[in-house]
Amino acid sequence: MNKERIKYSDIRELLAIEKRIPKFDDGLAALTHYLQNQENGAKKYFSEAAKTFLAGRALEAHPFFELENEIQYDVPFPPTEAAKFKFIDLFAGIGGFRLAFQQLGGKCVFTSEWDRFSQKTYEANFGEIPFGDITKIEESQIPQHDILLGGFPCQPFSLAGVSKKNSLGRKHGFKDETQGTLFFDIVRILEAKRPKAFLLENVKNLVSHDKGNTFKVIKKTLEGLGYNIHTRVLDGKHFVPQHRERIFIAGFDQTHFQREEKFQFPDLPVANHVVEEILISDVPQKYTLSDKLWEYLQAYAKKHQEKGNGFGFGIAQPDNITRTLSARYHKDGSEILIPQEQSNPRRLTPRECARLQGFPENFIIPVSDTQAYRQFGNSVVMPLIHAIGQEMIKTLQYD
């Protein structure tokens, strides 16, 4: 029997017609996850929720939900066919981790991201809507996978709470030490699903946060789960013209590898990228700083320089690299300004921010400039993730 091929864009159009369906919610997430996991055994995790979502709606009887139909994913980065391994994408943002590991032959079987604007960008590029708040998702709802990925938010871990439990004679373990943080959700998923490996990313300062106690708890917790841990601070400037140092934590299941995995972080290429590579021509006037804002930034910088502080704007010369792009870039763009002849400097455009993070040219930016700046500022240098992923795949023998 020949399978009918239905375009994903047609499905989204049908969903948009149904006015009772929110643009993005966990019901839609379940449906898109169900449709993307027809061939790999993960669909059973989403089937009930997907059918519940459709129940009572006109869409329930539409043939796109029948198993004999194939979805044609007319999106820039469709799901991997004949995948070598499965992974999940937590705190997914706009999919920097997913892009890298899909390129390496992996199939994403679950993703979570709470920000609705990031969900919009993610869906536009991958044809899948992330589930929302990971703290409300049970481990049983997440498919088995080989690799867990996540750029988790850094939150303080309260060691005082552990000390109090000790004084009261109460038992505590790795979950208690991380309770109330989003890292806790990574812990509970690792414990329940036991993937062979994971890769986590965070700001460089995680290592020194709270005099090193935060990182101590993280490392102790992951090792307590039975994973052998490898950590390194790496700079994205080896792949893009941006100084962006991040801490990476790779873990491998001790039961599977017996602490003998042959993993090492990649040897980084020579850092020879410059800003000129990412600049576009004919930039709209709206990205040029107004006289008022430019005067303010200069006065602000001068005030702090007189006090001996280093605060101030950053002019990114075309033959050099930029400072770190941050989520606050939408406010004034002060950390990365592009000089212009006979005019005030300008902000980067969202497309230039995408390039600065190593995203492909066909990556869709469906949101406002403000949201795009936040999203790329919170994302990762995708080629660096790819390079680390290559070494992990070699270790796992999926290459």
For residue 317, give every residue at least 6 positions away whose Cβ sits within 8 Å of its Cβ, in sequence order, or none.
275, 339
**Spatial separation of the C-alpha atoms in residues 225 and 178, rounded to whole Å:** 13
207 secondary structure, DSSP code: G
Bridge partners of residue 5, in order along the sequence: 70
**Spatial separation of the C-alpha atoms in residues 357 and 244, rounded to whole Å:** 10
Catalytic residue among 65, 78, 141, 154: 154
For residue 198, give every residue at least 6 positions away whose Cβ sits within 8 Å of its Cβ, in sequence order, or none.
147, 148, 149, 150, 186, 190, 227, 249, 250, 251
Structure tokens at 274: 């410059």
**Spatial separation of the C-alpha atoms in residues 356 and 279, rounded to whole Å:** 9
**Spatial separation of the C-alpha atoms in residues 156 and 206, rounded to whole Å:** 10
**Spatial separation of the C-alpha atoms in residues 215 and 334, rounded to whole Å:** 31
Q: Is 234 helix (H, G, I), strand (E, B) or coil?
A: strand
Exposure b/e, 197-227, CB count within 10 A at least 16 = b: bbbbbbbeebbebeeeebbebbeebbeebeb
**Spatial separation of the C-alpha atoms in residues 289 and 79, rounded to whole Å:** 40
Spatial CA neighbour of 122 closest among 325, 357, 366 = 366
Phi, psi of 184 (to 5 degrees): -55, -35
Q: Is 282 left (phi over 0), alpha (psi -120 to 50) or beta?
A: left
108 carries an active-site annotation:
no
**Spatial separation of the C-alpha atoms in residues 211 and 207, rounded to whole Å:** 8
**Spatial separation of the C-alpha atoms in residues 126 and 392, rounded to whole Å:** 23
Residues carrying an active site annotation = 154
